[in-house]
Amino acid sequence: MRNGKWNNKQLISERWLQMARTPTPVQPTYGFMNFYLNTDKKLYPHAPATAFAHIGAGSNIVYVDPENDLIIVARWIEGNAMDGMIERVLKAGLR
């Protein structure tokens, strides 16, 4: 979030984050490791194309939305329910 910056201190390299969010040639919706990109808006249609998620076993999801300054952590959620949750949070204006 915030390109790795907190309280005017760069905690994570902006360059590394940019590379991590760059689509791979083999699969354009993958960045580094488990950076699942929403560039084609198929992963989360109600989220901005700039959003990405980290998805682990059991559908433990960390959704990152730099455009809305938002992070959602969902544990043991049905994978196909996440887009609806994102839609409701964005509509509620909890940004």
List pLDDT tens digits, range 13-24: 999 888 888 888
Distances (CA, A) of 26 to 17, 22, 84: 19, 12, 28
Q: Which domain holds residue 64?
A: 2-92
- Quote the pLDDT of residue 94: 56
User: Which one-letter amino acid corresponds to residue 21?
Assistant: R
Share of residues in the chain with pLDDT > 70 (%) = 97
pLDDT number for residue 95: 46
Please report which residue ranges of 5-59 form alpha helices under DSSP H. Answer: 14-20
Give the alpha-carbon dihedral of 74, 78, 82, 84, to 10 degrees. -130
- Name the domain count of the chain: 1
Average pLDDT, the chain: 89
- Where the chain has pLDDT below 50, the residues are 95
pTM of the predicted model over 0.95: no
**Does residue 76 contact residue 58 with C-beta atoms inside 8 Å?**
yes
